[in-house]
Structure 1
Amino acid sequence: MEAPKPGFLGNLTPEQENMLEELKKRVAEYTEKRVAEGMELTEVQKELLEMDSMYLRFLRGRKWDLEASYNSYIETAEWRRNFQGIGVDNIDETMIENELKTGKCFMYKYDKRNRTIIYVRPRFHDPNQNTTEEMDRFLVWMTELGRKMLRPGVETGLVIYDMNGFGLSNMDYTQVKTQIRILESYYPESMGLTLIVNSPWLFSACWRLIKGWIDPVAAEKIKFISQAELTQYVDPDNLLKDYGGNDPYQFTYETVEERKATGYIPPWEMSWATEWRQEEKAKAEADSPTE
């Protein structure tokens, strides 16, 4: 198993340890004040308050500026509560079914570093097909799902952008800007690596513009590679056949209502995504003191 990178849990300098504790203290004080004012915490919010890895994402994302990290964390907490008038934690699958049906983005299995793999296929994106509100909800829901899929000790995901079949009719600069803003502002340091494959020449002009909108540190984590190189990052047994791997899985989607009759299982409920969580739960219960 690889040693943690600098700035991650298990590899912090004394100064970084102190900054982590100070950020946690300040967030706790703010939260206590808001609760006293009548704010109710969701179970997810309570969980996030206990996650050192979440605080560290903001510290790394804000270049270890404590004040900026604190302000960003609080801004994110308020954004989560107020998102689209429903709150991030209240988005459910029925609110994004039109987007899921497109097949433009889904999660499936893990890479060699145990990072969740997110496949993005822009050829299935039609800027005029669904509302911008649903597109934004879809982005947030998928990002939240990715967080829940993280295995113990893993803090980031791997994104594979398949540009095969991409045309200018799929290009949506407004949505790209929104995605960058949401991910950089509210989910800093969530993506460990983005691999772009099958990129046509016409995307090069689009990329020159898009790259200028991305934080330079984040931009360094984006690589253009050949499809054949994907096996350097993903074990062939965990990589889809469509991308040179051995797994024959093809993404399809059925709504919550439709699957009641068919028994369809979405990828995030398949064994690859659930078995390790069941094992962790069983381990935690076994380690818990009995009365």
Structure 2
Amino acid sequence: MGKEYEIPNEPVPALPGYVGNLTDEQEQKLREIWQGYFDTCEKATGSKKGAQKQDLEALKNQKAEDDKAKADPKNSGIAKDDKAKDAAKEAEEAAALKALMDEYGGEALRDAYWKFVKGDSPDTAMLRFLRARKWDVSRALAMLCTCMKWRLDNDVEALQERGDAGNEQIPHFLEQQRSGKTYALGTAINEQPICYIHVRKHLTFGQPSSSMEKYVIYAMESFRLLMQPPNDKVVLMFDLTGFGLKNMDWNCILYIVKCLEAFYPESLGTLYIHNAPWIFKGIWMVLGPLLDPVVRSKVVFSSKATDIEGHIPPSRLIADLGGNVTTGFEFTEPQDGENDLLKNEGERKKRFDHFMELADEFEEVTRKWSKGGSAEDEEKRNLLVLKLRVAQFELEPYTRGTTVAHRQHIIDGQGIVKWRYEQKDGDTQIHVVGRRACAATLRREIAEVENGSSLKEAQEKSEKALEAKDWATLYGDEKTAQLVEGGKYGEVVAGTLDASDAAGAAAGAATGAAAGGAAAAATSNDDAAPAAAEPVTEEFKDAPEASAAHAESVPAVQPTKEQEAQAAVEPEPAPKPAATKAEAPADTPTKEKSGLGRRFSKLMSKVAA
């Protein structure tokens, strides 16, 4: 039997343009966008006061075939020229800002914004939009309002509130999770969570696009809980092993990219396209120019584990992609009663009101700070950021439905994420993320500040305790340390401390009642999605032409003779176990090409023209 041990965390410094590392000019831009936010809330004249409830019954009647007409990238309406894309975004965001103010009132905007912030620093949320729009305050504000309108129009909060069990009513929703096509497991060395997407397990017409869009939103909201300060980004690993044209879902990929660019800005660290077969080269020549240039700049092609080991070491990479992690994918089904706390409307209102009282305080002091303010105002803002994060942890069990990550005790609902990397040699590495900004640590810091310490002193104490692994000092006392870390820092101790105790761990830490996060654990190549007949439509018939010169910028997908042969035949529905690269079928292609070969040849002839 192998050893089980905890691995250390790498230091994650605050990057330029982030909270804690702003130039004077950037801080001034932050003050200005807060002023713009207050002004927009006051001027909004719409009558809608909340999110627009989605008709889930209508989704049940939508057929997957209804999406076929939209499966052509030509219908995306996205310009290939980056300047044209930027101009279109500017016009779209200006229109959305006006629509938000005309349709929704200031109360709805504030409600949407604070529900978007959740446990993050409110400044972190604002800075996302400022960086995304290159510190142009007017455009950043319009982008922020566009995002809030999208969240209200799509009732994003209801999706996460229902959790796995409640969203089962959406057609094919839980099938996406059970299939193991998408899940999170571990982090890169900079603590960015790794979200795997095994494209061969996704069939383009296996579900309505509306269901996939709901699933994408739910996954992105869930992945947010895996990001612990100061990190606020994820790594997306698109595994193209065994990829075929029946897996190329233009609607889904363009929606994911749209969400990353417009609705979850600055949330993407790196997007890996791993083990792409030769046929993807032509697809990339079509897809690449359609991507937002910022997203495109974060795309990295890789074909073997050594290509990415500087960012994701083998000890954190799943074995199917050439790493050493053998943890297998497992979807733990929803349990009866796991969302019972959502029914306690009285407690939910009490905790939400407390959160919004803190938000009111934060807005009040931020109005002063945005116009100059004092050192005292800044200190109060920083303390309120901690209080808001703790209040969100206390609120979440009553507003967020349970997901597989909580059922598997990966997320404790109080800010700590615990990953298990089972290794090929039998050892198991434990990787704990989030101790520095978890609820127990922040409660201790808040209590010390309110008892006369400066916030700087309380935070320095946390840093020293974390480095020394002095959990009793970090969390405030021995009882809390054992609740958070386990009995004498081993197995979890059953029990809770009252949330009002500044040093106590909230109930979710011990009971797992809080929810959020995404399916976590790696997958096995043995779990291939069942093969399905290819649709008769020719997905790439009218694909827009891409610049031939663009192909030169695509690494790791130069075709071999075997891969050229593979393009003329239907790929196998699943690769051989443990393969790290798709292999050409053994059969020699005949002169009579398959449907895939004919469509791909037509695509390549257009690209070469």
- TM-score (norm. length: structure 1): 0.87
Tell whether 2:440 aligns with 1:282: yes
Q: CA deviation at 1:175?
A: 2.1
Query: Are the structure 2 counterparts of residues 101 and 233 from structure 1 closer, same or farther at C-alpha, using a change threshold of 3 Å?
Result: same
Residue 131 of structure 2 corresponds to which residue in structure 1? 60
Residue 88 of structure 1 corresponds to which residue in structure 2? 156
Residue 20 of structure 1 corresponds to which residue in structure 2? 30
Paired with 1:48 and 1:259, the residues of 2 have a C-alpha distance of 25
Query: Are the structure 2 counterparts of residues 57 and 77 from structure 1 closer, same or farther at C-alpha, using a change threshold of 3 Å?
Result: same
Paired with 1:237 and 1:115, the residues of 2 have a C-alpha distance of 15
Matches within 5 A, 1:227-266: 227-229=304-306, 230-257=308-335, 266=404
CA contact (8 A) 2:304 2:322 kept: yes
Which is worse superposed, 132-141 or 92-101?
92-101
Paired with 2:261 and 2:196, the residues of 1 have a C-alpha distance of 19
Gaps of 5+ in 1: none
Which of 104, 107, 110 aligns to 2:181? It is 104
Identity over the aligned pairs, expressed in percent? 25
Residue 151 of structure 1 corresponds to which residue in structure 2? 228
Residue 51 of structure 1 corresponds to which residue in structure 2? 122
Query: Are the structure 2 counterparts of residues 151 and 2 from structure 1 closer, same or farther at C-alpha, using a change threshold of 3 Å?
Result: closer
Residue 6 of structure 1 corresponds to which residue in structure 2? 16
Which is worse superposed, 222-231 or 107-116?
222-231
Residue 208 of structure 2 corresponds to which residue in structure 1? 131
CA contact (8 A) 1:109 1:273 kept: no
DSSP 3-state at the match of 1:256: coil
Q: CA deviation at 1:258?
A: 8.3
Gaps of 5+ in 2: 1-10, 50-104, 168-172, 339-402, 417-434, 452-609
Query: Are the structure 2 counterparts of residues 139 and 89 from structure 1 closer, same or farther at C-alpha, using a change threshold of 3 Å?
Result: same
Amino acid at match of 1:89: E
Query: Are the structure 2 counterparts of residues 11 and 288 from structure 1 closer, same or farther at C-alpha, using a change threshold of 3 Å?
Result: closer
Matches within 5 A, 1:67-82: 67-82=138-153
Paired with 1:222 and 1:46, the residues of 2 have a C-alpha distance of 27
CA contact (8 A) 1:108 1:267 kept: no
DSSP 3-state at the match of 1:119: strand
Query: Are the structure 2 counterparts of residues 30 and 75 from structure 1 closer, same or farther at C-alpha, using a change threshold of 3 Å?
Result: same
Paired with 1:88 and 1:8, the residues of 2 have a C-alpha distance of 26
Paired with 1:49 and 1:22, the residues of 2 have a C-alpha distance of 20
Paired with 2:316 and 2:410, the residues of 1 have a C-alpha distance of 10
Paired with 1:170 and 1:52, the residues of 2 have a C-alpha distance of 39
DSSP 3-state at the match of 1:188: coil
Deviations 1:239-279 (A, max 9, x none): 2222233322122324425898xxxx834654554388244
CA RMSD of aligned residues (A): 2.7
Paired with 1:33 and 1:48, the residues of 2 have a C-alpha distance of 27
Amino acid at match of 1:19: K
CA contact (8 A) 1:107 1:268 kept: no
CA contact (8 A) 1:116 1:158 kept: yes
Instruction: Say which structure, 1 or 2, has more relative contact order (CA 8 Å, 6+ apart).
Output: 2
Which of 240, 250, 253 aligns to 1:173? It is 250
Residue 197 of structure 1 corresponds to which residue in structure 2? 274
Paired with 1:258 and 1:64, the residues of 2 have a C-alpha distance of 48
Matched residue count: 285
Which of 80, 99, 111 aligns to 1:41? It is 111
Answer with 1 or 2: which has the greater Rg.
2
DSSP 3-state at the match of 1:107: strand
CA contact (8 A) 2:332 2:407 kept: no
Which is worse superposed, 190-199 or 87-96?
87-96
Paired with 2:337 and 2:195, the residues of 1 have a C-alpha distance of 23
CA contact (8 A) 2:12 2:191 kept: no
Q: CA deviation at 1:226?
A: 2.4
Deviations 1:188-208 (A, max 9, x none): 111011112111000111111
Which is worse superposed, 109-118 or 45-54?
45-54
Paired with 1:54 and 1:38, the residues of 2 have a C-alpha distance of 19
Amino acid at match of 1:251: F
Paired with 2:38 and 2:328, the residues of 1 have a C-alpha distance of 44
Query: Are the structure 2 counterparts of residues 240 and 287 from structure 1 closer, same or farther at C-alpha, using a change threshold of 3 Å?
Result: same
Paired with 2:39 and 2:407, the residues of 1 have a C-alpha distance of 37
- TM-score (norm. length: structure 2): 0.43
